[in-house]
Amino acid sequence: QVQLMESGGGLVEAGGSLKLSCTASGLAFAVAWFRQAPGKEREFVATISFGGSFPVYNKSLKGRFTISRDRDKNTVYLQMNSLKPDDTAVYYCATGTIGTSRARDYGTWGQGTQVTVSS
């Protein structure tokens, strides 16, 4: 079974940028990013197909966040710009057969990486 490892989280000031990476140990089809803030439900961020041609975003985040993938490196990225304190959360990547916005459609998850945005 493929394993996922997130990296790139950290502490950033509001208005700053971070780029998260999700590296798979093997073949990963659709890959998505979700996030979960303390006391809140897990929230869909973005997903990308195996070919990388059909990214789908949480509409509230589109324009600030960009998902991309490098198939040669088995890595999916999440570029986050103009970060806000409300973006503070643990960010998870997940892989599934098809890309949807539903967490239940993804069978393999990484352990998450903390993103903290200070005001």
**Per-residue pLDDT at 53 exceeds 90:** no
With cut-offs at 50, 70 and 90, classify the pLDDT of residue 7. very high
Quick: pLDDT tens for 61-95. Answer: 879 999 999 999 999 999 999 999 999 999 999 99
Instruction: Name residues whose C-beta falls within 8 Å of residue 58's C-beta, 6 or more positions apart in sequence.
Output: 43, 44, 45, 46, 65, 101
Report DSSP letters for 47-114, one per residue: EE-TTS---EE-TTTBTTEEEEEEGGGTEEEEEE-S--GGG-EEEEEEEESS--S-GGG--EE---EE
Contact of 35 with 112, CB cutoff 8 Å: no
Phi, psi of 84, deg, nearest 5: -120, 160
Quick: pLDDT tens for 22-50. Answer: 999 998 899 999 999 999 999 999 999 98
Contact of 45 with 78, CB cutoff 8 Å: yes
Residue with the larger pLDDT of the pair 54 and 21:
21
Rounded (5°) CA angle 3-67-16: 110
DSSP 38: T
The per-residue pLDDT for 62 is: 73
